[in-house]
Amino acid sequence: MSDKKRLFSGIQPTGNITLGNYIGALRNFSTFQDEFDCIYCVVDLHSLTVRQNPAQLRKNTYELLALYLACGLDPAKSTLFIQSHVSEHAELAWILNTITYVGELSRMTQFKDKSSKHQDNINMGLMDYPVLMVSDILLYQTALVPIGADQKQHLELTRDIAHRFNTSYSDTFVVPEPFIPKAGARIMSLAEPTSKMSKSDENIKGFISLTDDDETIRRKLKSAVTDSGNEIVARDDKHGVTNLLTIYATLNNITMQEAEKAFVGVSYADFKMAVADIIIETIAPIRELKNEILADKGNLDKVLTDGAERARFMARKTLSKVYKKVGLIQR
C-alpha cells in the first residue's frame, strides 16, 4: 500500500471548462499525481441536480475525461473514473444522510444560488448534493481535497460529518484537510472582474474556454474589462488589470512583481495581447491533444473501466466498514 497521502478531486461534466478551472485545478493535477495517491472523478451524478440534455451530458463526460488526460493525467499513476460507475458513492450518501441535518444543508451557499437560478426545479437532489459530495470524499479515506475559496463551506461540512460519524461509531473516516494552491487559485471573469470566472457564465465574453480557438481568445481579451488610468499594476482598485496580471504571472510561473515590471510603459491594448499570447501558448496544445484523445473512444472506455474497478475496490472497503458499524448485515 502506498505511503502517499490520498487526494480526491471531482469536476462536473457541465458547461465549458475554463481557464480559471485550469489555473485553479487542472494545471496542478499532473504534478499532484507524483506527490499524492490521486483519485480524479467526473461527477456526473451531481450534474443531474439541474436539468440536462442526456446526449449532451454523455458528450460532455467523454470530453472532460479527454481533457483530464490532455492536461497530463496518467491512468497508471492516478485513478480516473466516472462517479455513476461506482455505486458506492450513492450508497454511502444514504447512510450519511441519516446523520446530516436539514439546517446544515439549507445554509449551503450554492443551494441558495442554484435555487434562485432554477426556481422551476428546486429538487431534493439540489439540496442534498453536498452529502453526495461528502460521500465522494470520505469513501476513499481522502486526506487532501484541492479546493477554491468558494468551496470551503462544503469541505467544512465534510469534516463535520466525518467527525460526527467517528464520534458516534468509532474512528472510521479520515478527516480531510483543504489543499489550496498558493497562486492562481482564483481567476476572475473578463467581463465582471469582481466575480469568479465561471463555466456556467451566460456571458461568453466573461470566460476563456479550453476549447476556444486562438482568434476567439484574442477577441475575448480585446474586450476584457480593465480600469481607468493606464498603469499596469496589481491593486485593490484595479480589478480588471490585477486579474489579467494574475493570469499572465501564473501561466509564466513568475511573481506578480515580475509581471508588473514586464509591462511598465506598455499600453492596455498591447498588455491584453501579451496575455492572450500566453493563454494561447498554454491552451492550444491541450486543445489539440484532447481532440486526438477523443478520437479513440475505445481507449477512453478502457480508461474508465480500469479506473472504476480500482475505485470500486477502495470504495467497497470503506462502505463495508460503514455498514458493519451502523448494524447492517453484510451481503
Domain boundaries, the chain: 6-180+297-326, 204-291
CATH code of the domain made up of 204-291: 1.10.240.10
- Rounded CA-CA distance 187/255 in Å is 15
Question: What is the pLDDT at residue 2?
Answer: 62
Question: What is the pLDDT at residue 181?
Answer: 61
Three-state DSSP class for residue 44: helix
The shares of helix, strand and coil residues in the chain, as percent rounded to the nearest 5, are 60, 10, 35
Q: pTM for the complete prediction?
A: 0.88
Three-state DSSP class for residue 281: helix
Positions in the chain short of pLDDT 50: 1, 184
Contacts of 200 (CB under 8 A, 6+ apart): 14, 15
Question: What is the pLDDT at residue 168?
Answer: 96
Q: Which CATH class is domain 6-180+297-326?
A: alpha beta
- Phi, psi of 3, rounded to the nearest 5 degrees: -85, -5
Question: What is the pLDDT at residue 6?
Answer: 96
Active site residues: 114, 196, 199
The pLDDT tens digits for 30-75 are: 888 989 999 999 999 999 988 899 999 999 999 999 999 999 999 9
Question: What is the pLDDT at residue 303?
Answer: 97
Grid cell for residue 159 = 469534516
Question: What is the pLDDT at residue 201?
Answer: 81
Residues 172-210: b if buried by 16+ CB within 10 A, e if exposed: bbbebebbbbeebbbbbbbbbbeebbbbebeeebbbbbb
Own/partner long-range contacts of 253-259 (Cβ < 8 Å, ≥24 apart): 259/234
